[in-house]
Structure 1
Amino acid sequence: MQEAVRTILMYGVIPVWILAGLGDWWSHRRTQIERNAGLAESAMHSLMMAQVGIPVLLALFFEINALLLAAMVAGIAVHAVTAWIDVRYASRFREIVPFEQHMHSLLEVLPITAFLLVASVHWDQLLALFGGAGEPDYRLRLKEEPLPASYLAGLMATLLVFVVAPYAEELLRCARARPAWRRQKA
């Protein structure tokens, strides 16, 4: 079952997650957030990327155990709160159309989906983390069976081109524009 979960994550969940992020970025570009919600909204997008991206990167290179499962739970929890704050803030300045709402839905549920899939094959560590049977393992150890180097290289390149670069462009575009709060005062 572990191999099936690994394949679903690598070739199903992660690509859809990347596409949802790209769709969300496109929505922000189309609504010109640099002219409305501005830098504050864009900064929240970068923060949310880090909140779920760090646990994902850890899971790509390190053994899944109680430590990584705890990092995933924490990342998902703070991401959910930040996403709520982000939409509440952005909706004051611009319309959030159904396409973007759907991208948000995917970006909220896919981290949970990935966590549940990972937890299903590391159930002993999940139970141990929450006080069940067994000892939780909190050691940070490289994977005994690493993911294929070609997959990791392709994924890192894909993330750089389709996630990091678009959101960096958005952040820069917003930083160059007048902040929304200045326009409100004018």
Structure 2
Amino acid sequence: MWRFHLGDDTVSGTGVLEVRRGPGILGRIACAVLGLPRTCTAAPARVTVRRSRAAGPAAGETSILERWERRIGAQDLLSEQVRIGERGWEPHGPLEIRTRTVATPTEVNVVQEGAVVRIGRREFAVPKRLAPRVSAHAWVETGDRARMPPRFHIEVRVTAPLIGEVMSYRGHMDEEAQVRP
């Protein structure tokens, strides 16, 4: 679980997710336009996080470039993120979602700190009430601590103003042996 969210190396896992598209017509349209997975009670899932290092914006800082490759059911979802320590940035066209990852020994929470719109080198903060919201929670249940391969549970939720819930998914992932980039 830690290696997926705060690790330095490439990591991969497989699991099963329950996927729910938002209940409203706007949520269903947004899912279709964005190519998000269909509602399913037990979608097979595979996630690979490929990482490389690059110089950070400040002297002496190292940023980690992450390429998240997700396959949920028959749908591929790709995203790229930049992370320095617990802070992350995930661009979606001109919109950039900014997060902070908070970890304890048994859980990881990805908390959205804000959103900006980038135009060239300029950025403009999106007011909280107008910004899409993304939250992620991963945890290890007591019975999973001794499992090999390691298993953890996840819950992700995406909402947007005027739409409400766009999509959510919940399930478990089993970490695979380390893959080479």
Give the TM-score of the pair, scaled to structure 1.
Answer: 0.22
Q: Whose Rg is larger?
A: 1
Structure that is richer in strand per residue? 2
Give the TM-score of the pair, scaled to structure 2.
Answer: 0.23
> Looking at both structures, which has the greater relative contact order when contacts are Cα pairs under 8 Å and sequence separation is at least 6?
1
